[in-house]
Amino acid sequence: MHLGKERRQFARFRPKVGTMAVNQHALGPVINISMGGLSFQYMGESSTKPVSDVLGVFLGSDNVLIDKIPTRIITDKLVSHGSTFLRTSTRQRSIQFTQLSKSQQEHLEDFISNKTTAIY
């Protein structure tokens, strides 16, 4: 059985519990992270937000913040429907990092080396 070629350029890692992604549209836990991007879940409605944005990654328990990361949205999909009363659902967004500064690259490498718990 041929599974096909892996499309991702970078290995994905599971971040330490409590790692969050935040931007002006969403806040939620990071599901996986790599040098090329990340996936996170958030509460929200169907995405009509811009296809590019700036994102922050933080882990409060370890005093880690990588801020103002330029990104491009790759996918934004429904994970589960919320209550009809709240009219929100759980969604998962996958983003690609774009044009990282040298400092952001170094902080991201350090984060992946020291704050992730498993390889996918």
pLDDT at site 86: 64
Q: Which two tokens stand for residue 83?
A: 């209550």
The pTM of the full predicted model, rounded to 2 decimals, is 0.84
CA–CA separation, 110 vs 24, rounded Å?
A: 25
Identify the structural domains of the chain with CATH numbers, from first to last: 14-109 (2.40.10.220)
- Please give the average per-residue pLDDT across 8-33, as a whole number: 91
Strand ranges inside 34-104, DSSP E: 37-44, 52-59, 64-81, 89-97
Number of Cα atoms under 13 Å in the Cβ half of residue 45: 5
Q: How far apart are CA 9 and CA 58, in angstroms?
A: 23
Query: How do residues 35-93 score in pLDDT, each as one tens digit?
Result: 999 999 998 765 556 556 899 999 999 999 999 999 999 998 988 876 666 667 889 99
Write down the pLDDT at residue 7: 63
Q: What is the mean pLDDT of the chain?
A: 85
Dump the DSSP string for 91-106. Answer: EEEEEEE-S--HHHHH
